Amino acid sequence: MTTNEYTVALAGNPNTGKSTLFNVLTGLRQHTGNWPGKTVVYAEGFLTHNNNHYKIVDLPGTYSLYSNSADEEVARNFIIFEKPDVTIVVLDATALERNLNLALQVLEMTSNVIVCINLMDEAKKKGIRIDTEKLAAKLGVPVVPISARNKEGIDVLVKTIEAMVCGNIQTKPIAVRYSPEIEQCIEKLIPRVKEVIGDAYPARWVALRLLDGDISLFRSFLQPLPSTKEVRINACHGSAKSI
């Protein structure tokens, strides 16, 4: 029987439970804590499910992906240059509005996204109700509620990852629209971007980064990365977790 290998990245704001979810999925013990900015490099571990082999990558927590810091650059470069098969954006159910900002940024970069709403137990305690189906319809990608600490919703999440890598989920990410002036500039830039870097990267997103003067991104394009592998920490002792 053949085994397929896929990469799944966990992105999200600091302190949303990415490392807790990583540990549940991989059976590893990436250290977690309740203060922000803890994961400064990324960790990787493995999960095997239905003969599919997944490399799970725990990215640093960031509020945005504009390369304002080393953490943001690591997370952004991984999504753009390593092109994970699935990017899971982990959101805090008790701070959804603030967290959705990062989800929208990821949706500008890739369409292989699952939005995972964590800390559902906390939200329940606070009387917060989230219409995940409506949110999924608005965002154009699957939305899965979980409680990573209580290991709730993990089987649905794994099934959703599997469906996405098998091509059984067609996503249609919401496209954030900017002011008419910016949209005009984007329209002008997209053909030039495609001419220079081809189809390897999301042209609209690259155009937006150009307009924002994101020099570090263009350095990365010219000098194919100070390899992200250099900043990896190896969390993969022991055997891969099977679910």
Ligand X SMILES: Nc1nc2c(ncn2[C@@H]2O[C@H](COP(=O)(O)OP(=O)(O)OP(=O)(O)O)[C@@H](O)[C@H]2O)c(=O)[nH]1
By beta-carbon proximity to ligand X, the closer residue of 14 and 140 is 14
Interface pick for Mg ion out of 13, 16, 19, 110 (rule CB under 5 A): 19
CA 143 – CA 131 distance, rounded (Å): 10
3-state class (DSSP) for residue 79: helix
Whether the CB-CB separation of 114 and 157 falls below 8 Å is answered with yes
Contact flags string 2-21 toward ligand X, x per CB under 6 A? ----------x-xxxxxxx-
How are beta strands 42-49 and 52-58 bridged, if at all? antiparallel
Interface pick for ligand X out of 4, 5, 33, 183 (rule CB under 6 A): 33
**Smallest distance, Mg ion to C-beta of residue 44, A:** 13
DSSP symbols for 81-149 = II--SEEEEEEEGGGHHHHHHHHHHHHHH-S-EEEEEE-HHHHHHTT----HHHHHHHHTS-EEE-BTT
Contact flags string 47-86 toward ligand X, x per CB under 6 A? --------------x-------------------------
By beta-carbon proximity to ligand X, the closer residue of 154 and 165 is 154
CA 200 – CA 29 distance, rounded (Å): 35
Q: Does 26 bind Mg ion (CB under 5 A)?
A: no
Six-digit token pair at 160? 């959703």
Contact flags string 28-57 toward Mg ion, x per CB under 5 A? -----------x------------------
**Smallest distance, Mg ion to C-beta of residue 205, A:** 25
Q: Which amino acid is at 62?
A: T
Q: What does 77 bind: ligand X, Mg ion, none (CB cut-off 5 to 8 Å by kind)?
A: none
196 CB burial (10 A radius; 0-12, 13-18, 19+): exposed
**Smallest distance, ligand X to C-beta of residue 93, A:** 8
Q: Which residue has the tokens 């650059």?
A: 73
Which range binds ligand X by CB under 6 A, 34-42, 132-140, 172-180, 187-195? Answer: 34-42
Interface pick for ligand X out of 4, 5, 37, 227 (rule CB under 6 A): 37
Whether the CB-CB separation of 57 and 78 falls below 8 Å is answered with yes
Binding to ligand X, residues 163-222 (CB under 6 A): none
**Smallest distance, Mg ion to C-beta of residue 204, A:** 30
**Residue ranges in contact with ligand X by CB under 6 A:** 12, 14-20, 32-34, 36-39, 61, 118-119, 121-122, 147-150
